[in-house]
Structures are given as C-alpha cells and as structure tokens.
C-alpha cells in the first residue's frame, strides 16, 4: 500500500528557542530565505506524498497562512512587476493539500499523532518532526518510502551517535537485514549509561502502519502527563514488525540553537543566490578566529 499522507506535529511551545518563539512559531524561523517548516513540506512533496496533516495549537496560525493563497500580496507583487516573486508565492500555496487538526492540550508527541487518526484513516502514513532538517541528494522521506514499498511495515529513520550522547535520543537495537536496514528488536527512550550498546538513534522521520492509533489510544500518559511515542512504537514493532533505516544525508536539529546555526550555514552554502558570496564571507571570518 502506498504512503499518501504525512502528519507534521507543530503544536509545541518551542521553549528551546525562547524568546524568539514567544510570538512567532519556531517552525516559522527562517533558514536563509524560507521558514524551517517549508523545507519539511518540500521534502514531503518531493517524496510523492499527496496530503499533509498539520497538528497545530493556539498561536500557530502563521504556519497555515504561509501555505495559503494571499490575494492582496499576489496583486501587490504583480502590480509592482515582481512577477518571479509572485510566482514563487503562488507555488508555495499550491505545493500540496493541507489539513489542520488542533491539539487542545500539550500531551506529547504520541498524543499529537493520535489526533490525526480520523484524517489518516486505515492506511500507512508518514510523520515528520519540524525540528529535524535533513540535507541529502534524495529526500530522506523518499528513501524511507522506497524501503516501505519493499517491506510493507513501519520504518523509522536512524543515525549513528556517539555513545556519550545516546541518553538524548530514543535508541533502537536490532538485526541488520541489508545495507542501512535493521529489523528492530528493542527500543529504549533516552537510555541511562550502560543500559544499551546500540548507537542507533531515532530522528524525526517515521512511516507508520495505522495500527499505531489503537496502541496510542490505549497508552497511559507518562512523565509530565504526556503520551510517549517510543512506547507505542515498541508495541507496534512487537505486533507486526518494524525496520530502522540509516538514511543517507546530514541531519540538523533546527530546534536547538547550535543545530539551527549549522543548518543556516549548510543550506546557505547550497543556495544559488548567496552560496558564492557567503562562502567567501565564511572564509574571511575563519581567518580572524
């Protein structure tokens, strides 16, 4: 069965980016010339997905507005002869079919995904977290859908991390089945030192079978009253199998200040309008350090 829908949770408060995220959704902070969330949506589109479900909350209307058609802006740009820019704005509004679902209480990532159950229905779907940007030749999600089409089971994206950093991630343990692919046997959320030998950390890309909704609906809230996704993923893996995919590309945690800055540099060096001048600037700055 083909993956046609993608869920993007954007309901978080963005506390790691305060005070910048006090009045502006963190997903709308820019990387060069476009908001972070647009890179995520463009990855979805490039991966052949047909519909996006945003899980939103109060104060996140700017995200929906960004992907909507703005009549006044379109005509203002056209009247000023800025045709190319007007076309780009129209392109954004026509990228993909968008649905929004409101998460009324901050009850965690697992709950946010569960909120999409009525829109997703009984079919596999993708989940992308807005904090994670992946720079790659082939979109990360496209790599994952290629694997899903082969195995027809849930897939989570992973990256190798240093042993001293495993406590910051959900960690998977499993058996290799092919290059970059592992059959998952165990998952541990932010393991204490010495409790796992695995260095395979889950990042914010998932393809999930709809069985996850029933599991999430029965999951008891944990720390902070939140429904943890990792617990539900392990239950799903035990029920029908799940694969971990070591994607090709570089991941940036754009929800972290340092990760955000690294993402700006990486994407600027690939941007056709600024890459050359920016590269020269970086070299000049490096000489002064």
Q: 213-250: per-residue pLDDT in tens?
A: 999 998 877 766 788 888 899 999 999 999 999 999 99
Measured CA to CA, the distance from residue 251 to residue 65 in angstroms comes to 27
CB 41 within 8 Å of CB 95: yes
Q: What percent of the chain has pLDDT over 90?
A: 70
Quick one: pLDDT at residue 10?
93
Quick one: pLDDT at residue 223?
63
CB 41 within 8 Å of CB 128: no
**Domain extents in the chain:** 5-249
Quick one: pLDDT at residue 138?
96
* CATH, domain range 5-249: 3.90.550.10
When pLDDT is averaged across residues 276-285 and rounded to a whole number, the result is 93
CB 3 within 8 Å of CB 49: yes
Q: Going along the chain, which residue ranges are E strands?
A: 5-9, 30-31, 34-35, 51-56, 97-102, 125-128, 132-135, 154-160, 170-178, 181-189, 200-208, 242-246, 250-253
> pTM of the predicted model, to two decimals?
0.93
When pLDDT is averaged across residues 155-184 and rounded to a whole number, the result is 93
DSSP assignment of 35-61:
EHHHHHHHHHHHTT--EEEEEE-TT-H
CB 86 within 8 Å of CB 78: yes
Quick one: pLDDT at residue 224?
67
Quick one: pLDDT at residue 3?
96
């Amino acid at each position: 069965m083909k993956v046609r829908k993608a869920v993007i949770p954007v309901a978080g408060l963005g506390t790691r980016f305060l005070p910048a995220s006090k009045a502006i959704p963190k997903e709308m902070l820019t990387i060069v010339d476009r908001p972070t969330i647009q890179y995520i949506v463009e990855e979805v589109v490039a991966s052949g997905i047909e519909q996006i479900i945003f899980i939103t909350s109060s104060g996140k209307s700017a995200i929906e507005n960004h992907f909507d058609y703005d009549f006044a802006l379109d005509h203002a740009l056209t009247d000023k002869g800025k045709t190319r820019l007007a076309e780009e704005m129209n392109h954004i509004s026509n990228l993909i079919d968008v649905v929004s679902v409101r998460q009324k209480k901050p009850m965690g990532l697992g709950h946010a995904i569960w909120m999409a159950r009525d829109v997703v229905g009984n079919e596999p779907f993708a989940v992308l977290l807005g904090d994670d940007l992946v720079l790659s030749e082939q979109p990360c999600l496209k790599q994952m859908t290629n694997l899903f089409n082969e195995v027809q089971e849930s897939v989570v994206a992973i990256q190798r991390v240093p042993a001293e950093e495993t406590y910051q991630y959900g960690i998977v343990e499993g058996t290799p089945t092919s290059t970059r692919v592992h059959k998952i046997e165990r998952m541990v959320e932010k393991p204490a030192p010495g409790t796992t030998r695995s260095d395979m950390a889950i990042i914010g890309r998932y393809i999930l079978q709809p069985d996850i909704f029933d599991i999430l609906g029965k999951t008891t809230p944990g720390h902070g009253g939140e429904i943890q996704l990792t617990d539900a993923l392990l239950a799903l893996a035990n029920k029908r199998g799940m694969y971990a995919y070591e994607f090709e590309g570089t991941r940036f945690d754009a929800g972290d200040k340092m990760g955000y800055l690294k993402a700006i540099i990486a994407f600027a060096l690939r941007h056709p309008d600024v890459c050359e001048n920016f590269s020269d600037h970086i070299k000049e700055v490096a000489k002064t350090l």
